[in-house]
Amino acid sequence: MDIDSVGTFTMCREALEYLKKGGRGRNSSSGGSILNISATLHYTASWYQIHVSAAKAAVDSITRNLALEWGTDYDIRVNEHLPSYKIGDKWDIAMSAIYLVSDAVDGGHWLRNARRLPKEEVKQLSRVVEKRSRETPVGVPSSK
């Protein structure tokens, strides 16, 4: 979990300040691209791989959410490698990466339409929930 999910999120977050300013070859009004490459292990069940499957699912979720949030807010394209159902070599991965960070891919812009609540409503609700959770001590029962 630390390497896959926390590591992926940490690296994306560290790149954010640079990408918000505009990556190499881009102007300051548009960001660059983030490419997260994961495995497909979590699409089905595998014996004794719960931790790996959970970590890979987390990387997928991080990628989808960053595509929505950072694509909308900063014009940063966040993509993920899609399975080709074959074992690839370094060349295959490199060519896929080049394609996924190119302008030929929408970078998750379709996810913008998937939102059911306006962004500001979600932000306000999140702040209320966060404030409430900070005010209530963790592990202390609230019922009698």
Who has greater pLDDT, 15 or 119? Answer: 15
8 A C-beta contact, residue 34 and residue 66 = yes
Q: What would the pLDDT profile of 32-69 be if each residue is shown by its tens digit?
A: 889 898 888 888 877 778 898 999 999 999 999 999 88
Q: What would the pLDDT profile of 66-112 be if each residue is shown by its tens digit?
A: 998 888 888 888 887 544 456 667 888 888 888 878 877 766 665 66
8 A C-beta contact, residue 33 and residue 79 = yes
Q: Map out the domains of the chain as residue ranges.
A: 3-135
For domain 3-135, give the fold. Rossmann fold (3.40.50)
8 A C-beta contact, residue 67 and residue 75 = no
> pTM score, two decimals?
0.61
Give the Cα separation of 52 and 5 in Å (integer).
10
pLDDT at 101: 80
8 A C-beta contact, residue 74 and residue 28 = no
- Give the three-class secondary structure for 43: helix
